[in-house]
Structure 1
Amino acid sequence: MQHDRNGFLAFVLNTFPGLGHYYLGRKIRGILYPFMFFGSIGVGVLLYSATNGDEFFALSGIGIALFIWCICMLDLIVALLRAPSVPQRLNELGHPINEHGELLTETRTPSEHSERFYTILLSFIPGLGHLQLGLMQRGLSFLIAFFGLATIMVFVTGVTNQSVFLLFLGVLPIIWVYCMFDAVQQINRKQAGELLVDRTLFEEFDAAREDGKRSKILVTLLSAFPGAGHMYLGLQKRGLQLMVLFLGSIYILDILRLSLFMFLVPVIWFYSFFDGLQQSSRYGKEPLVDRPIVEGIENHRGLVGIALLLIGLYYLGTQFIIPVLDTRFPEFLIDYRFRTYIQTFIVSLLLIGGGLKLAMGNKKIKPNPEKSRIRR
């Protein structure tokens, strides 16, 4: 094994099985690991074809390949950890030189290189790199934020049987990338001679505030959930409406099986996210106005009450009355006919009624003669 090679580069190259080992001079492992990795996939594909599409063999081949990849990575990590550090060459004046006797412009010692490598390597698991630097509170906050969010989302999905909550797992890559870059910044500060301060993420956000103002970084993070960033800025009405629109649209489109209108969900999310960023940019420069998305709801409480009443009756009928009638009179296929015909009829009737209401309520605006004179 060649000890003068870059360990971090070997780790990155080893994402392709065996390439990192080959880079370090471990040629047998560099050939054996990719052969076993791709061989297991190939055998799985051949057995899948030979058994006329039995998915068990294909999944088994992929699973064995992933297991070999993990063994390959673990083998490389153990080899890098056991590798002795290369002594630094010095000239007569004590300056670092390379193997050709030339002065090195980089002043990092081998111990600093190894510390940097181990920190980055451990940071692939959020929080471990900070723990290695002695930042216990910061490391634990990253660990809890990453694995806690994953655990809660999986738990809520399992309890409610709603896979839509798994969408919030998209926040995990953001936490992972932020943790990785934060670990690199911390090791750079330490090697530059700065004193590291062990504080949690929320303490970091509080320290970033200016004159007691709300943190714009936290606003950006909270805006990932529609309405949360607005509420943090004090825009309660706007944030509440965005949150209700987002979650309510998912719920209503799901129970009414309106997959045609599912495009509204990402539209609402993007609108809420970028609106939160705009409100954050205005914060501190001009007063924020809590203007709701849909104005005048207070003047139409009767319509809102009727809508809630109809939704409640619909939910009561679909979840209780129709299943009971379908069980009592199975020969009429009540549940099947309702979901196939009556539900479609109700949704179509609501859409037609809403369209007629908008079309008939669109009054023509009479031109103002004074404004026309000014334009002329």
Structure 2
Amino acid sequence: MIKKKRWLTFMLAMAPGVGHLYLGFKKQGLQFMIGAFICIIFIPSMPSVFPFALAALWFYQLFDALQRATWNKMAAAEYDRMMYSQDMYGGDLPWPPLSMPHMPDYPKDDLDSAWVGGACILAGFLLLLITAFPDLWRLLTEINIGTILLSLGLIGYGYHMLKKNKKA
């Protein structure tokens, strides 16, 4: 079991998602990064909503990273206690000393490379659009493209959830 430092997790979690990446939660770390990126991109289109959403996301991911780091430290201490305690050989253990049960690790999440690739392409396209075509980006923010994209995303996600959970 690899021990992670809580203070380093806290410092890295100042940037959304980086603390989770340090702890080994790649999928959740990238989700927090993408969420913060989307909030920052859409702040000009809805300045009363997205700064609040960004702050809520930042505080939540900071708290979650610290909770996971604390769990990791407690699990490592319990693992060390089970492996190296003095009463291990003389106590009433439900298993023989040489067949110590495996200490469960905090559940890890797997990344789907297709989603990560798609998110990177989308982020790169938006960054290219902002830098190479600033007038077009200004025009798109004036017509509230952020609100339009958000509403289309919510409609698409709602349709996906209804299709996925259809009772047959």
TM norm structure 2: 0.53
1:354 corresponds to = 157
2:45 corresponds to = 257
User: Distance in 2 between the 1:243 and 1:351 partners?
Assistant: 18
Shift of residue 314, structure 1, vs aligned partner? 4.8
2:57 corresponds to = 268
The letter of the residue matching 1:251 is: I
User: Distance in 1 between the 2:131 and 2:27 partners?
Assistant: 32
Shift of residue 248, structure 1, vs aligned partner? 1.9
Shift of residue 220, structure 1, vs aligned partner? 4.3
Identity of aligned residues (%): 26
- 1:1-376 matches, within 5 Å, as 213-232=3-22, 234-235=23-24, 237=26, 240-241=29-30, 244-245=33-34, 247-254=36-43, 257-259=45-47, 260-282=49-71, 283=73, 284=76, 285=78, 287-289=104-106, 291-292=108-109, 297-298=112-113, 301=114, 305-306=117-118, 308-317=120-129, 319-321=131-133, 323=135, 336=139, 338-341=140-143, 343=145, 344-364=147-167
The structure-2 alpha-carbon separation of the partners of 1:266 and 1:290, relative to structure 1 and needing over 3 Å to count, comes to: farther
The letter of the residue matching 2:112 is: I
Shift of residue 223, structure 1, vs aligned partner? 4.0
Shift of residue 315, structure 1, vs aligned partner? 4.7
Root-mean-square deviation (Å): 4.0
What stretches of structure 1 of length at least 5 have no aligned partner? 1-211, 327-333, 367-376
User: Distance in 2 between the 1:321 and 1:273 partners?
Assistant: 34
The structure-2 alpha-carbon separation of the partners of 1:289 and 1:356, relative to structure 1 and needing over 3 Å to count, comes to: same
Contact preservation (8 Å) 2:45, 2:141: no
> Could you report, residue by residue, the CA deviation over 1:78-105 in whole angstroms, capped at 9, with x for unpaired residues?
xxxxxxxxxxxxxxxxxxxxxxxxxxxx
Contact preservation (8 Å) 2:4, 2:69: no
Shift of residue 310, structure 1, vs aligned partner? 4.7
What stretches of structure 2 of length at least 5 have no aligned partner? 79-102
User: Distance in 1 between the 2:129 and 2:9 partners?
Assistant: 41
User: Distance in 2 between the 1:335 and 1:348 partners?
Assistant: 20
Shift of residue 219, structure 1, vs aligned partner? 3.8
Contact preservation (8 Å) 1:223, 1:229: yes
Q: Which of the pair has the greater relative contact order for Cα pairs under 8 Å at 6+ separation?
A: 2
The letter of the residue matching 2:143 is: Y
TM norm structure 1: 0.28
Contact preservation (8 Å) 1:226, 1:242: no
Shift of residue 218, structure 1, vs aligned partner? 4.2
The letter of the residue matching 1:257 is: S
The structure-2 alpha-carbon separation of the partners of 1:360 and 1:320, relative to structure 1 and needing over 3 Å to count, comes to: same
